[in-house]
Amino acid sequence: MIPIKSCVDWNVLNSCPFEEEPYHTSLLNHTSTTLDERLSFVQKQFQSSYKDFKPLEDYTFPPHSLDLFYSLLTLHWHQDLPSIFAKIKRALTPQGLFIGALLGEHTLQELRSVFVYREEKLLGHVTPRFLPLPSSHTIAIMLQQAGFISPVVDREMIVQEYDSLKDLYQELRLIGGKNCLKGRFKGLTTPRFMNACEALYKSKFSNASGKVFATFEVVYLIAWQAAVDPDNVKNERDGKYL
């Protein structure tokens, strides 16, 4: 995995359309619902919480000031994810909970393959267009290294359908999906190139109804700042304690 810190142009990322409350897209709605369902199985009342809907690079929190830190599809943008995890851990009370979701390494695998193929054929080289995303295994290791207790990490492969690639691009824009890599191509992308990409995408990644599909790997995480009473937290799937 390429270190994100060396790849991201933070000035470009800050121009993305992040809001205090997220836009309503099918991906965000699904992920938010899943996080809320998982949080409902935590038998604890949270007095102070922070909901993260945009990158935290410039945020600071007083130590032990939060009972709950909730993050929705923004963690993958951070230049230094281990430092962000450490910052969140410091902000949580000893009984505080960190729950979140971020995009994983297999996200947009169809679009990645199409752009790589077309750039090699038409341009003779490949330019950086996609943020390198962490694997669920790497995220689990980072949480452990940050000092979280008993982190639980799992993933969901979500395949969404769109009438056209333009609709996919629109959803990506609404969740901040702008090319913010330092090595990105800074010229204009020609209609010829984009039309060639769309034609290839439709030929390889469309269903019988003519809709195109795209894969999003969502990695869910839940971790405690310190040891907690296991009677307070149950695993919703099998009844075992986390």
Task: Write the DSSP assignment of 220-231 as a string of letters.
Answer: EEEEESS---GG
Quickly state the pLDDT bin for 140 (edges 50, 70, 90): very high
Round to whole Å and give the CA distance between 61 and 97.
15
Rounded CA separation 97/223 (Å): 6
Q: How confident is the model at residue 105 (pLDDT cuts 50, 70, 90)?
A: very high
pLDDT at 115 > cutoff 80: yes
* 217 DSSP 8-state letter: E
d(CA 138, CA 118): 30
125-145: average pLDDT? 85
CATH class, domain 4-232, is alpha beta
- What is the pLDDT, as a whole number, of residue 130? 73
Q: How far is CA 168 from CA 23, 117, 180, in A?
A: 15, 19, 18
d(C-alpha 215, C-alpha 193), whole Å: 22
The pLDDT mean for the chain works out to 78
CA-to-CA distance for 234 and 43, rounded, in angstroms? 8
